[in-house]
Amino acid sequence: MKLLIVESPAKAKTISKYLDGKYTVKASVGHIRDLPKSNKSAIDIEGGFIPHYEISKGKEKVVSEIKSLAKRAEEILLATDPDREGEAIAWHIKEAVGLKNPKRVVFHEITKDAVKEAIEHPREIDENLRKAQEARRVLDRLVGYDLSGLIWKKVRYGLSAGRVQSPALRIIMEREREIRAFIPEKFWTITADVAAKEGKGDKFTLTCSEEPREEKETERILEIGKKEIWKVKGVAETEAKRSPRAPFITSTLQQSASSRLGFAPSRTMGIAQKLYEAGLITYMRTDSVNMSQVALKQIYGLVDKKYGKEYLVPRVYSKKSKNAQEAHEAIRPTNMLSELGGANDEQQKLYRLIWQRAVSSQMSDAKIMRTKITAQIGKGEIPFFYINGSRVKFDGWLAADPASRGEDVELPKVAVGEILKLIEMRSEGKQTEPPARYSEAGLVKELEKRGIGRPSTYASIIKTLEDRDYVEKISKALHPTDTGDVVSSFLENNFANYISDSFTARMEDELDDIASGKIGYEKTLSDFYKPFSKEVKSKDKIEKINNLGEADPAMKCPICKGGMIIKLGKTGKFLSCAKFPDCSGARKIAGEELAGPKETGEDCPECKKGKLVERDGKFGRFISCNNYPKCKYIKKNAELEKQNSTGIACPICRHGMMTERRGRFGLFYSCSNYPKCKNAIKAKPTGNICKLCGALMMEGTKTIPERCSDKTCPNHNPHKIAKTE
């Protein structure tokens, strides 16, 4: 028996079709080992930054199955993804299972030819690539652990910081401060509806070439314009070209999918992963704009046949980044002749976008005729008026990507010196606008421009900022929250060097140098961590940030009527009495009174030292120990528990009942014995127990009415089993 190991079950299914039963294909389902959570001792710093890995929770069964298959295998191939992460997964499988001499195979597309070609040319695991990924993981853990611990002490318990997320948050906050400091200026736009005096053509609208800053000047222009003669001053026609863009790399795919399809970067990468695993597109984590000769020949033939010879212009693109991996390929369909691909609507939309970009990249320029008509009023005492128009003379690459075309703006045929009839003239007062906040696509572009992160990390950076409530997306724009504002300000004031563009980009370059074997793992981490650790320790003496500034003097404490200060709470900024803890008066930031902790008269049964108080929480009032966070006891609300109970016993502890709760991400169901029992599932339990693994069955979808709550169990997605069978 021959064994081939990949990460994804979907990938395993696709590859199995091409191997004619010669290999048993097994999926590791992602990483099988990781560093222990929240444990600095997971890394032996003194010993040379040696990480101590452990089998990831729930992966014990997978490891056991791979071990069993490996014992009977005469040949073992590790075919994880073709990047650092994939190299690391391959190495972890080797180490965890104890494989003696596995071979590594890599393919950038999952097609029959690519898979067979890769199997014929196996290699050893690339230790440099693996070390680069390990260095990133260790570096991020050390930075996150040290910075987060300091922020817990000095700002608020439960906050976090990261090596790359913090510079990204800083960029968002820098733009936010520009917006706050922006002072709008008033101006007026003046437009005029006119028509050719001879009556040929419809009316068209001209715009004043200047935008007056004073109302008096606006009135002067209107007064003169309404009584003077309008005539055509000039008609200028210029031919312009619009060239196609290079095929997608990771960052440009995320940007285009965000602006064209409304997909968040993390969503785009998830959909692209499915397309890749199904063998429909090449690998989606790449910074190369190259395409193979096979793909180019397919495109040439397709363009010639579908659009015509005049539409074909073979092109070569180059990536300016010094770290671009030119041996890789751009993101493209594996079969350029197919315009459709994907199992669902989202996949089909993204596939179509990728197809259009790849095909149009080898097509001719679009020719655009731009026209500008200018009009003079009277003897020219006021600024001239104008209108711009454009029309496509030859669509070129826009034929393959019509969504990039835009609308034609046809202008009437007029001659220089021709008199125009004024129909209506008007003005509108406006204000200058501050710079726009970053969209997800805009932030990805900015991170790439500044060299912060790498293609594979952009989506996770933004998702982390959103998950930790440092930013929120409002109408496609990323707004920093109060918490994000305070955390970023703290880091900028105390660790400006470590979250600067230059430092972060330099660290990315050093990780690339580890991958290419230019520098060593231990030296890179040591050179960074020793001064960084010293810097963190030096900040231990700074005072805790309890006060974010004085509140508006008009805001008085609801209890003692004294002055108030701004503080940061779990749900954002609020106003606290300046005399706290002597006075517990508090208000919301807008001024509404906040009910403070209310004593119940009960002692805490957990720590035996505190008193139980009733508090306001994110999801309503609750009773807890007043020694929080040292004591995290929360008294159960028996009446609410009974009301929200499903009546289904917890299969883990067998004492509690599965109860409906609401968290950050909506409804979920967990054991009423929490935190002693932490059994929780996303969907409502049905009361049935899975016959395969013993976990609770839960409500599914129309196509899967019921499924297992355990993701590792085949009954979690039974329709996939049916298809396989």
pLDDT tens-digit readout, 33-60: 999 876 667 899 999 999 999 999 889 9
Q: CATH code for 2-125?
A: 3.40.50.140
Q: What was the pLDDT predicted at 588?
A: 86
What pLDDT is stored for residue 447 in this prediction? Answer: 94
Digit-coded pLDDT (tens) for 374-417 = 999 999 999 999 999 999 999 999 999 999 998 888 898 899 99
User: How far are the Cα atoms of 97, 381, 581, 589, 594 from residue 557, in angstroms, in the given order?
Assistant: 63, 61, 13, 12, 10
H or E element in which residue 177 lies: helix 165-181
What's the rounded Cα separation, in Å, for the pair 522 and 715?
A: 45
pLDDT surpasses 90 at 690:
no
β-bridge partners, 312: 363
Residue type, 451: G
Of 242-246, 267-271, 310-314, 647-651, the one with minimum mean pLDDT is: 647-651
Tokens standing for residue 644: 């929200």
CB atoms within 10 A of CB 300: 15
The full set of domain ranges for the chain reads 2-125, 136-182+436-541, 188-243+366-431, 250-360, 564-635, 639-724
Hey, CA dihedral for 638, 644, 650, 653, is it positive or negative? Answer: negative
CATH of domain 188-243+366-431: 2.70.20.10
pTM, two decimals, is: 0.77
- Specify the DSSP element, H or E, that contains 255: helix 250-256
Q: What's the mean pLDDT in 136-141? A: 92
Q: Residue 614 above 90 pLDDT? A: no
How many CB atoms sit inside 10 A of residue 46's CB? 7
- Chain-centroid distance of CA 707 in Å reads 29
Both tokens assigned to 599: 């004593």
| pLDDT above 70 for 7 | yes
The CATH architecture to which 250-360 belongs is: Orthogonal Bundle (1.10)
Residue 292 and residue 327: Cα distance in Å, rounded?
A: 10
152-156, 245-249, 266-270 — which is least confidently predicted? 152-156
Is the distance from CB of 35 to CB of 43 less than 8 angstroms?
yes
Strands (E), 227-288: 230-242
What is the token pair recorded at 9? Answer: 């079950």
Highest mean pLDDT among 288-292, 427-431, 560-564: 427-431
Positions marked active-site: 283
- Choose the weakest-confidence range: 228-237, 329-338, 398-407, 708-717: 708-717
Regarding the domain delimited by 136-182+436-541, which CATH topology (the fold level of the hierarchy) does it fall under? Topoisomerase I; domain 2 (1.10.460)
Residue 391: strand, helix, or coil = strand
> Is the bond preceding 558 in cis, omega lying within 30 degrees of 0?
no
DSSP 8-state secondary structure symbol assigned to residue 258? I
